[in-house]
Amino acid sequence: MYSAILFRTIFGKTMRKDPQARILHKQNWGDYFILALESPRITSEAHPGQFLMVRVGETSFPLLRRPFSIHAVQDNALEIFFQTTGLGTRQLSLKQEGDRLDILGPLGRGFNLDIEGSTPKAALVGGGRGIAPLYFLSESLRLQGVSATIYYGGRTVEDLPLRKKFLAAGYPLHCSTEDGSYGFKGLITDHLIQDLKQNPADRIYACGPDGMLKRLAEISQEYSIPAELSLEAIMGCGFGACWGCVHRLKKDQEIGWQKICEDGPVFPAEMIIWEKE
C-alpha cells in the first residue's frame, strides 16, 4: 500500500526544455555553488526530489548534460546547488550572472509528501552535496504542515555550507562532520539514531552517498520508519531513453535493473536492492 501511494502518478509527465534560462544570481563557498535560474514554466511544475539536466558547455566535450536536483524554488526561478567534482561541474561553476543555461526539467519522480497523522514529523538526512534537494523538500513539507528536522553531514565543516540557510529558515538542524570540525563527530546516520530516541520521526527522506543511503535503509527497517531515498547514477539522457542509469530495484514483485531517471531518483527504501560492496 505504501508503494501504491508512490506509484499513482503524483507528478505529471510534463517536462520542458528551456534553452535560455538566465542565471539570476550565484553564490559560492569553496567547492560549492548555487545558481538561480529564471525559468517560469519549469519552476511552476517542479516537485521536490525532481531534477534538471543541464548543458554545461557549447561543444561536444563535455558531451552529456549533467543532472542536478532542484534545490529551491522561488517565484519564476529555481536554484541548483552543486559541488565541483569534475570537468562539467567545473565549467558550470565558471558561469556568471546574466549568462544563460540550456536546461531540461523537471525530470523524474520526487519525494512523496503524503504523510498520515495529525502532527507528522519528518527527518531529512543529507550527506555532502546530497543536501541539495532537501531545502526544496523542507519548504514544501512546511506548507503541508509537516515539521522537518534536518540532519546534515559532511567530511569537514567546509562541506556544510548550507547550515546557515537552514537555520535562517527556522528548521531544527543537526550537523555532523567526520573530522569533528563541526557538530557531532562521526557519521550523520549515527547522529540520527542518537537523536531519534528523543525526537522520533514518521518518515525519513534522504539524499547522499550510497553508503549513507544503505545504512538509512537498515535504520528504516529497524525503527519501522518509512524512508524515501534519492539515488544517483550516471545519466545519459535523464528522460528514459538510454537505459544508462539503472539500479537494482524491486518493482511489482520483480527484481531487475530499473531506470532511476524515470521511476526515481527517489524510491521507498524497501524497493532498493543493494549490491555487495
Partner 1 sequence: MTHSDLSIDLGFCRLKNPVIAASGTFGYGTEFSRFFDLNRLGGFVVKGLYSTPRPGNPPPRLVETASGLINAIGLQGIGVKRFCQEILPQLQDLDTAVIINVCGSHEEEYAAVAEHLDGFEGIAAYELNVSCPNVSTGGSCPALDPEATHRIVSLVKKSCRRPLITKLSPNTGKIIEVAKSAEEAGSDAISLVNTFLAMAIDAKTRRPKLANVLGGLSGPAIKPIALRMVYQVAQEIRIPVIGMGGITTSEDVLEYMIAGASAVEVGTANFVDPEAIPLIIDELDVYCQTHNIERLASLTGTLAPL
Ligand X SMILES: Cc1cc2nc3c(=O)[nH]c(=O)nc-3n(C[C@H](O)[C@H](O)[C@H](O)COP(=O)(O)OP(=O)(O)OC[C@H]3O[C@@H](n4cnc5c(N)ncnc54)[C@H](O)[C@@H]3O)c2cc1C
Closer residue to ligand X, CB minimum distance, 32 or 151: 32
The least distance separating partner 1 from the CB of residue 260, rounded to whole angstroms, comes to 10
- Residue 225, classed as helix, strand or coil, is coil
| Residue 163 DSSP one-character state | H
| Spatial contact of 72 and 139, defined as CB atoms under 8 Å apart | yes
The reply on whether position 240 binds partner 1 by CB under 8 A is yes
Considering only CA atoms, give the Rg of the chain.
18
Q: Which stretch binds partner 1 (CB under 8 A): 54-62, 143-151, 154-162, 187-195?
A: 54-62
The least distance separating its own copies from the CB of residue 59, rounded to whole angstroms, comes to 5
Q: Which of residues 241-260 bind ligand FES (CB under 6 A)?
A: 241-245, 259
| Spatial contact of 90 and 33, defined as CB atoms under 8 Å apart | no
The least distance separating partner 1 from the CB of residue 238, rounded to whole angstroms, comes to 8
- Residues with Cβ within 8 Å of residue 101, at least 6 apart in sequence: 21, 23, 35, 37, 54, 55, 95
Applying CB under 8 A, which residues contact its own copies?
Answer: 57, 59-62, 87
Count of CB atoms situated within 10 Å of the CB of 114: 13
Q: Which stretch binds partner 1 (CB under 8 A): 27-35, 37-45, 60-68, 153-161?
A: 60-68
The least distance separating ligand FES from the CB of residue 245, rounded to whole angstroms, comes to 3
The reply on whether position 238 binds ligand FES by CB under 6 A is yes
- For residues 239-266, one letter each, b for 16 or more C-beta atoms within 10 angstroms of the residue's C-beta and e for the rest, the string is beeeeebebebbeeeeeeebbbbbbbbb
- Residues with Cβ within 8 Å of residue 251, at least 6 apart in sequence: 258, 263, 271
Partner whose binding site includes residue 85, from its own copies, ligand X, ligand FES, none (CB under 5 to 8 Å by kind)? ligand X
Binding site for partner 1 (CB under 8 A): 13-15, 17, 55, 59-65, 102, 104, 233-237, 239-247, 256-257, 275
